Amino acid sequence: MKEQLQKDFDNTIKNLTLSQRDIEIKKFYLDNFINKGFPNRKEEDWKFSDLNQIIKKNIGELSFYSDYTFTNKVDTSAFVDGLEHNKIVFINGRIEKIDFDYEKKDQIEIIDQSETINKFNNNSSLSDLNSAFTNKSFKIVVKKGYQLTKPLIIYHTTNSKIWSKNINLRLNFELYENSSLRLIDLFRDTSEKNFLNIFYNFDLKENSILKNYKVDKFENKNIKYSFNNIEQDKNSISETFILSSGSNFCKNEINCNLNGEYSSAFVNGIFSINNNKHHEIRTIVNHLTENTKSYQLIKSVLEDSSKAVYQGKIFVNSQAQKTDGYQLSKAILLNKDSEFNAKPELEIYADDVKCSHGSASGSLNEDSIFYLMSRGLNYQQSRELLINGFLLDVVEKITDPEVKNLIKNMIGIKE
């Protein structure tokens, strides 16, 4: 893999206009990645999902170079109907379109950061890989007091033109005081056997609100890793919703630093997977000052030989008195070969806190099915009704009505 990395790296560098110093920095990250390699089960964070093995088994040899000189045609029919929205379109990892048509132009700033290397607050090997190979990266700034009228949808589209490729994406968001942003990540893949490595950084200033909805719904054979780092100032709110369903393997990591008083973080997630899929959500919420709040709810429905993993951590340092931290994960195993692993973790150094977690996994309740069947539903209908109700609980946590409807339609949950 080393030669491949080196070769692909040289090719990538050629197409960029970087200063000697920046090339050195990128090289440094490359060397870091070469040393560490893909994470494996020996690392505590990857204990339940050995990425190294998964890539080997599903993809085999990866190539890290993508030719971005040609534009891809943007297929407008793929856009979401019935909801006016701003767009960013990635096709095979290349940014094809950034469009904030519905917003005041002077309130949003898009800064091309491709030619600056910004450090990411994470020293995993995947962040090294990302830093070494990202080809274009943008920073999106929402100005003071501006609230976007329409949501922003980021289309992550891949098509059959790519095969066994590693794609690295990076976006930075900065939300100034009193601003707000609704962001939907929509994955549409028709490609197979690629590895997507996505890093987002969010900087939330005082009183700002971020709502991020990640929807991976369409069946595909890709492997995805996504890392969200969220820095939160006083009074800010972040809401993250993850629908983890389509990809062969998908790991979402959310790292949330509650730096300012009265800031709060909400993470809700659904695993709805079948076949041999293997999905993971890992969250770390760091309560770093007084009066902060976090809430997490993760529900899973597992069919066939699928496997879901939830690793959630609430960290409370000794200054963070009056912290409120809550975490709940529930799983329904529908098949004898399905598997659910959880590691809900509390690390607490302050005494005046209320922290709790709960985790439950098991089969569908036969008594409930019996109840519904005795009222005239057949087995299949009863089962669907129960599963829908189970998952609806999480969808109902979505605070934005437009997006809630969109996601409900997508999953096919009826009320």
Partner 1 sequence: MDNRQKEIDNLKDYKYGFTTDIENTRAPKGLNEDVIRFISNIKKEPQWMLEFRLKAFERFKQLKEPDWQKPKYPKIDYQDLYYYSAPKSMKDKPKNLDDLDPKLLETYKKLGIPLQEQKRLNGIAVDAVFDSVSVATTFREELTKQGIIFCPISEAIQNHPELVKKYLGSVIPVTDHFFATLNSAVFTDGSFAYIPEGVRCPMELSTYFRINASNTGQFERTLIVADKGSYVSYLEGCTAPMRDENQLHAANVELVALDDAEIKYSTVQNWYPGDKDGKGGIYNFVTKRGLCKGKNSKISWTQVETGSAITWKYPSCILKGDNSVGEFYSIAITNNHQKADTGTKMIHLGKNTKSKIISKGISAGFSDMTYRGLVDISSKATNSNNYTQCDSLLMGNKCGAHTVPYIKNKNSESNIAHEATTSKISEEQLHYCQQRGLSAEEAVGLIVNGFCKEVLQQLPMEFAVEAQKLVGISLEGSVG
Binding site for partner 1 (CB under 8 A): 44, 318, 321, 331, 333-363
Euclidean distance between CA atoms 354 and 312, whole angstroms: 16
In the chain, % helix, strand, coil (3-state, to 5) comes to: 20, 40, 35
CA distances from 30 to 195, 197, 201 (A): 17, 15, 21
Euclidean distance between CA atoms 182 and 152, whole angstroms: 6
In this structure, the strands spanning 94-99 and 209-216 are unpaired
Closest distance to partner 1 from the beta carbon of 324 (Å): 11
**Structure tokens of 339?**
């598997």
Closest distance to partner 1 from the beta carbon of 161 (Å): 39
Nearest CB to partner 1, comparing residues 15 and 335 = 335
Closest distance to partner 1 from the beta carbon of 53 (Å): 18
- The answer to whether the beta carbons of residues 177 and 145 sit under 8 Å apart is yes
Nearest CB to partner 1, comparing residues 217 and 343 = 343
Closest distance to partner 1 from the beta carbon of 310 (Å): 9
Nearest CB to partner 1, comparing residues 163 and 379 = 379
Residue 74 DSSP code? P
Nearest CB to partner 1, comparing residues 96 and 324 = 324
Nearest CB to partner 1, comparing residues 149 and 319 = 319
- Burial class, 84, CB count within 10 angstroms (exposed 0-12 / middle 13-18 / buried 19+): exposed
**Structure tokens of 349?**
């150094």
Nearest CB to partner 1, comparing residues 47 and 150 = 47
Question: Looking up tokens 């056997």, which residue turns up?
Answer: 193
Closest distance to partner 1 from the beta carbon of 240 (Å): 23
In the chain, how long is the greatest CA-to-CA distance?
A: 74
Closest distance to partner 1 from the beta carbon of 287 (Å): 12
